[in-house]
A = this chain, B = another copy of it.
Amino acid sequence: MPVELIFTLAASLVGIAFAVFLIWKIKNELTGEGKMIEIAQYIREGAIAFLKRQYKTIGIIAAGLALLLLAIYGLTGNWLYGFQVSTAFVFGAACSLLAGFIGMRVAVITNVRTAKAAQTSFSRALTIALRGGAVSGIIIVAMSLVGISGLYFIYTLFGYQAISIPSLIVGFGFGASLVALFAQLGGGIYTKAADVGADLVGKIETGIPEDDPRNPAVIADLVGDNVGDCAGRGADLFESTAAENIGAMILGIVLYPHFGISGILFPLVARAFGLLSSIIGVLAVRPKDTDEPMKALNRGYLVTSFLAAVSFYFVTMEMLGSVWFFYAGLVGILTSIAFVYITQYYTQEKYRPVKEIVRSSATGHATNVIAGFSIGLECTAATVATISTALIAAFKLGEASGFAGGGLYGTAAATMGMLATAAYILAMDAFGPITDNAGGIIEMSGGDEKTRKITDKLDAAGNTTKALTKGYAMGSAALAAFLLFSAYLEEVKLKIVDLAKVEVFIGAFIGAMLIFLFSAFALRAVSRAASYIIEEVRRQFRENAGIMAGTNKPDYSKCVDITTKGALKEMILPGMLAVIIPVGTGLVLGAEATAGLLMIGTIVGVLLATVMNNAGGAWDNAKKFIEAGNFGGKGSPAHKAAVTGDTVGDPFKDTAGPSLHVLVKLLGTLTLALAALFV
Q: Which residues of B contact A508 (CB under 8 A)?
A: 599-600, 603
Q: Are B509 and A388 in contact (CB under 8 A)?
A: yes
Residues of B within 8 A of A643 (CB): 366
Partner of A391, one of B363, B375, B506, B646: B506
Binds B, one of A13-21, A34-42, A149-157, A376-384: A376-384
Whether A302 sits at the interface, judged by CB under 8 Å, is no
Interface residues of A in 479-527 (CB under 8 A from B): 482, 485-486, 489, 494-500, 502-506, 508-510, 512-513, 516-517, 519-521, 523-524, 526-527
The answer on a CB contact under 8 Å between B200 and A377 is no
Contact A644:B387 (CB < 8 A) given known A374-B523, A603-B512: no
Interface contact A371-B527, CB-CB below 8 Å: yes
Q: Are B370 and A369 in contact (CB under 8 A)?
A: no
Query: In whole angstroms, what is the CA distance A387 to B607 when docked?
Result: 23
**Contact between A489 and B494 (Cβ–Cβ < 8 Å)?**
no
CA distance A482 to B374 in the complex (A): 29
Residue of B365, B378, B497, B603 touching A500 (CB-CB under 8 A): B497
Whether A369 touches B644, Cβ cut-off 8 Å, given contacts A508-B603, A596-B499, is yes
The one of B365, B371, B530 that contacts A644, using a Cβ cutoff of 8 Å: B365
By beta carbon, the residue of chain B nearest A651 is B370
Q: Is A118 an interface position by the 8 A CB rule?
A: no
A367 at the interface (CB under 8 A from B): yes
- In the assembled complex, which residues on chain B have CB atoms less than 8 Å from the CB atom of A595? 499-500
Asked if A178 lies at the interface with its beta carbon under 8 angstroms from chain B, I say no
Q: Are B607 and A366 in contact (CB under 8 A)?
A: no
The interface residues of chain B lying within 8 Å CB-to-CB of A530 are: 367
In the assembled complex, A473 has its CB within 8 A of some CB on chain B: no
Residues of A181-226 at the interface with B, using a CB-CB cut-off of 8 Å, are: 196, 200, 204
A91 proximal to B (CB < 8 A): no
The answer to whether B603 touches A509 (Cβ under 8 A) is yes
Other-chain contact of A365, B365, B485, B524, B600 (Cβ < 8 Å): B365
A364 on interface, CB distance cutoff 8 Å: yes
Rounded to whole angstroms, the CA-CA distance of A366 and B197 in the bound complex is 13
Contact call A607/B513, Cβ cutoff below 8 A: yes
- Which residue of B370, B482, B651 is within 8 Å of A505 (Cβ)? B482
* B-side contacts of A366, CB under 8 Å: 643-648
Interface residues of A in 350-380 (CB under 8 A from B): 360, 363-367, 369-371, 373-378, 380
CB distance A369 to B369 under 8 Å?
yes
Instruction: Contact check, B200 vs A363: say whether CB atoms are below 8 A apart.
Output: yes
Q: Of B363, B500, B524, B534, which contacts A374 at CB under 8 A?
A: B524
Interchain CA distance A21-B607 in the complex, whole Å = 51
A604 at the interface (CB under 8 A from B): yes
Q: Is the CB of B600 within 8 A of A519?
A: no
* A317 on the B face (CB < 8 A): no
Whether A238 sits at the interface, judged by CB under 8 Å, is no
Contact with B along A527-538 (1 / 0, CB 8 A): 100110010000
Contacts of A377 in B (CB 8 A): 516-517, 519-520, 523
Q: Is A68 an interface residue (CB 8 A)?
A: no
Q: Does A407 contact B (CB under 8 A)?
A: yes
A384 touches B513 (CB 8 A): yes
Q: Is the CB of A506 within 8 A of B392?
A: yes
Per-residue interface assignment for chain A, residues 403 to 419, with 1 indicating a CB less than 8 Å from any chain B CB and 0 otherwise: 00001000100000000
Chain B residues within an 8 Å CB radius of A369: 369, 644, 648
Whether A360 contacts B527 by the Cβ 8 Å rule is yes
Q: Are A497 and B494 in contact, CB atoms less than 8 angstroms apart?
A: no
Q: Verify if A395 is at the interface (C-beta below 8 Å from B).
A: yes
Cβ of A130 < 8 Å from any Cβ of B?
A: no
Digit string of A645-676 for contact with B (CB within 8 Å is 1, else 0)?
Answer: 11110010000000000000000000000000
Evaluate contact between B648 and A392: CB separation under 8 angstroms.
Answer: no
Residues of B within 8 A of A527 (CB): 360, 367, 370-371, 374
A 593-616 contacts with B by CB, 8 A: 595-596, 599-600, 603-604, 607, 611
Q: Is the CB of B200 within 8 A of A519?
A: no
Are B644 and A380 within 8 A (Cβ)?
no
A14 CB, nearest partner CB in chain B, Å = 37
Q: Do A510 and B200 have beta carbons less than 8 Å apart? A: no
Complexed CA–CA distance, A611 and B611 (Å): 15
Residue in A411, A503, A600, A645 with the greatest tally of chain B CB atoms within 10 Å: A600
Interface bits A307-332 vs B (CB < 8 Å: 1, else 0): 00000000000000000000000000
A407 to B366, CA, bound (A): 47
Name the residue among A369, A374, A497 with the largest chain B CB count within 10 angstroms.
A374
Given A603-B512, A644-B644, A651-B370: A499 touches B499 (CB 8 Å cut-off): yes
A200 to B364, CA, bound (A): 9
User: In the complex, are the beta carbons of B380 and A517 less than 8 A apart?
Assistant: yes
Give chain B residues whose Cβ lies under 8 Å from the Cβ of A500: 485-486, 489, 494-497, 595
Chain B nearest CB, measured from A266 CB (Å): 21
- When distances are taken between beta carbons in the complex, the residues of chain B under 8 Å from A482 are 502, 505
Given known contacts A370-B651, A509-B387, A517-B380, is B644 in contact with A502 (CB within 8 Å)?
A: no
Task: Among A365, A375, A383, A388, find the residue whose CB has the most chain B CB atoms closer than 10 A.
Answer: A365
30 A-B residue pairs with CB within 8 Å: A196-B367, A363-B534, A364-B644, A365-B365, A366-B643, A366-B644, A366-B645, A369-B648, A370-B523, A370-B526, A371-B527, A373-B523, A374-B519, A377-B516, A377-B519, A378-B516, A378-B520, A378-B524, A380-B513, A392-B506, A395-B502, A482-B502, A496-B500, A497-B498, A498-B498, A498-B499, A509-B603, A512-B604, A513-B607, A604-B607
- Residue ranges of A at the interface with B (Cβ–Cβ < 8 Å): 196, 200, 204, 360, 363-367, 369-371, 373-378, 380-381, 383-384, 387-388, 391-392, 395, 407, 411, 482, 485-486, 489, 494-500, 502-506, 508-510, 512-513, 516-517, 519-521, 523-524, 526-527, 530-531, 534, 595-596, 599-600, 603-604, 607, 611, 643-648, 651
